[in-house]
Amino acid sequence: MKTKILHTAFLVFFFTANAFAQDSTPSNELYTAHNKGKFFAHWGGNRTYYTTSDLHFEGEGYNFTVENAQSHDLPKGWNIDYVKPGSLTSSQTNWKIGYFIHDKFNVSIGVDHMKYVMTQNQTAMINGTINLPSTEAGSQFNGTYNNQPIDLTDGKFLKFEHTNGLNYVFTEAAYYTDISSIFGITNTDIFQLNFTQGLGMGLLVPRTDATVLQKQRHDEFHISGYGFSADAGLNFTFFKHFYMLTELKGGYINMTDVRTTYTGDHAQHHFWYGGTIVSFGGIFRL
């Protein structure tokens, strides 16, 4: 009986010790094998392109539309302002911070600080009416317009820009796929290549620089509309924690209430956009 008890005790001790030994064995799993629970943040710059849009302006004494207005962005190129405190928004910049809820899925919030400039050197067709008091400078344009051309070059009729920010404040869900093995990369803790895809939606909070019929411009941030976006890109991760992200991003923006003056005048327009983004950031498990 004693022998049986000793034998059983020995077996229990053996298997328990073996289990502890297995638990204490250092894991060879790579840090980059799993993303769940990691936070990430990045910053970068963009180039953006816009479709033409119908710019509709409405206020006391006028109601007209500039048809198929052309526009462009306002890049600064490689510039110290991208990293200079206090000057970050003088360039076209992007920020995002997020969290992986799954190895392949993350959620994030971000700001795309784009710049939108109605091309000044253009002749556009306008429709609508302008009937301002004769004491106002813009009264020189009084009349009824029925698909008539107007030269916008000198800016006296209209200047319209979201250069203090076509600010798209969004939330996004994204899917990451590790494609390192396709290129023969085995140690992803040194270098990892991911393919990313995301869908987002958010609000437009521009600070619009608009001079309509030579009226005083509105110069404050204002929630002006909403947008939807989609992106796809390549994430190059170095030494587990640092990465460069290159993306193609596009979407739809509908600005239903752009403030143009302090008297309640407003504009509205909608358009599609597309562009490229290059960002730099870090990913960590806290």
Rounded to an integer, what distance in angstroms lies between the CA atom of residue 123 and that of residue 276? Answer: 29
Query: Per residue in 50-76, pLDDT tens?
Result: 999 999 999 999 999 999 999 999 987
Band (23; pLDDT cuts 50, 70, 90): very low
Band (29; pLDDT cuts 50, 70, 90): confident
CB within 8 A of 247, min separation 6: which ones? 196, 231, 232, 233, 276, 277, 278, 279
In which residue are the tokens 């798209």 written?
A: 168
Q: What is the mean pLDDT of residues 177-182?
A: 95
The closest of 161, 176, 11 to 108, measured between CA atoms, is 176
- Write the CA distances from 144 to 61, 63, 64, 185, 196, integer angstroms: 12, 10, 9, 67, 51
- Residue 240's region, left for phi above 0, alpha for psi from -120 to 50, else beta, is left
Rounded to an integer, what distance in angstroms lies between the CA atom of residue 3 and that of residue 25? Answer: 33
Band (164; pLDDT cuts 50, 70, 90): confident
Rounded to an integer, what distance in angstroms lies between the CA atom of residue 244 and that of residue 92? Answer: 17
SS3 content of the chain, % helix, strand, coil (to 5): 15, 55, 30
**Averaged pLDDT score across all residues of the chain:** 88
Is residue 40 within 8 Å of 283, Cβ to Cβ? yes
Rounded to an integer, what distance in angstroms lies between the CA atom of residue 216 and that of residue 262? Answer: 8
pLDDT number for residue 55 = 97
pLDDT number for residue 228 = 98
DSSP code, position 16: H
pLDDT number for residue 21 = 42
The closest of 218, 188, 215, 197 to 206, measured between CA atoms, is 218
Percent of the chain residues topping a pLDDT of 90: 80
Stated length of the chain: 286
pLDDT number for residue 28 = 78
Residues 3-11: contacts with CB under 8 Å, at least 24 apart: none
CB within 8 A of 205, min separation 6: which ones? 165, 167, 169, 221, 222, 223, 224
Whether the predicted pLDDT of 5 surpasses 50: no
Whether the predicted pLDDT of 259 surpasses 50: yes
